[in-house]
């Protein structure tokens, strides 16, 4: 076992992990944060997506020991005070959620995109969620939800309106 330090959703954790423990299993089993899903367990579906140091990653393919000292955001960290994140609200408004299994993954992929590029093109939105498989809604509603939030970002720079 090896001791690692992680910051998950703003909280610091010191955890004992085995050399072969995957980040997804640590998040789900040791921290009881079950929003990230174990879908394919091979990195093909994106249901396990979390954000590490600002970048979306597949937590089922990431060794926990390689995350020492890193900052992780899970879906639970998207609305820490109980208020929906604009992406979550847009998902509801655009009916971009059906079974919900893929939702945490694409929401975090979209958040990482918008954090780095508040005004993405439709192609950039599609590229950002390309690794997130959805078998229920198709992608149109998901793309519409992300684009709606990006549209709300237009005209705003560092909290001020462009004039």
The pLDDT of residue 152 is 79
Q: What is the pTM of this model?
A: 0.90
Q: How far apart are CA 140 and CA 72, in angstroms?
A: 28
Q: Which fold has domain 2-77?
A: Ubiquitin-like (UB roll) (3.10.20)
Pair of tokens at residue 157? 């720079």
What is the torsion angle, in degrees rounded to the nearest 10, for the CA atoms of residue 56, residue 108, residue 106 and residue 80? 160
3-state percent breakdown (helix, strand, coil) of the chain, nearest 5: 35, 20, 45
CB 61 within 8 A of CB 69: no
Residues of the chain with pLDDT under 50: 155-163
- Per CATH, domain 86-154 is 1.10.150.120: yes
Structural domain spans, the chain: 2-77, 86-154
Burial class for 38, CB neighbours closer than 10 Å (0-12, 13-18, 19+): middle
Residue 37, Cβ density class (10 Å: 0-12 exposed, 13-18 middle, ≥19 buried): buried
The whole-angstrom separation of Cα 41 and Cα 6 is 22
90-126 pLDDT, tens per residue?
999 999 999 999 999 999 999 999 999 999 999 999 9
């Amino acid at each position: 076992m090896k001791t690692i330090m992680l910051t998950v959703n703003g909280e610091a954790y010191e955890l004992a992990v085995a050399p072969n423990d995957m980040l997804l299993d640590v998040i789900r089993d040791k921290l009881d944060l079950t929003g990230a899903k174990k879908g394919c367990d091979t990195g093909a579906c994106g249901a396990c997506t979390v954000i590490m140091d600002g970048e979306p990653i597949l937590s089922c393919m990431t060794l926990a020991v390689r995350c020492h000292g890193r900052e992780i955001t899970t879906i639970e960290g998207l609305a820490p005070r109980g208020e929906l994140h604009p992406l979550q609200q847009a998902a509801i408004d655009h009916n971009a959620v059906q079974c919900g299994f893929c939702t945490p993954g694409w929401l975090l992929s979209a958040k990482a995109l918008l954090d780095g590029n508040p005004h993405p093109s439709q192609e950039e939105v599609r590229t950002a969620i390309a690794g997130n498989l959805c078998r229920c809604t198709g992608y149109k509603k998901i793309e519409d939800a992300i684009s709606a939030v990006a549209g709300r970002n237009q005209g705003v720079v560092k909290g001020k309106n462009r004039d």
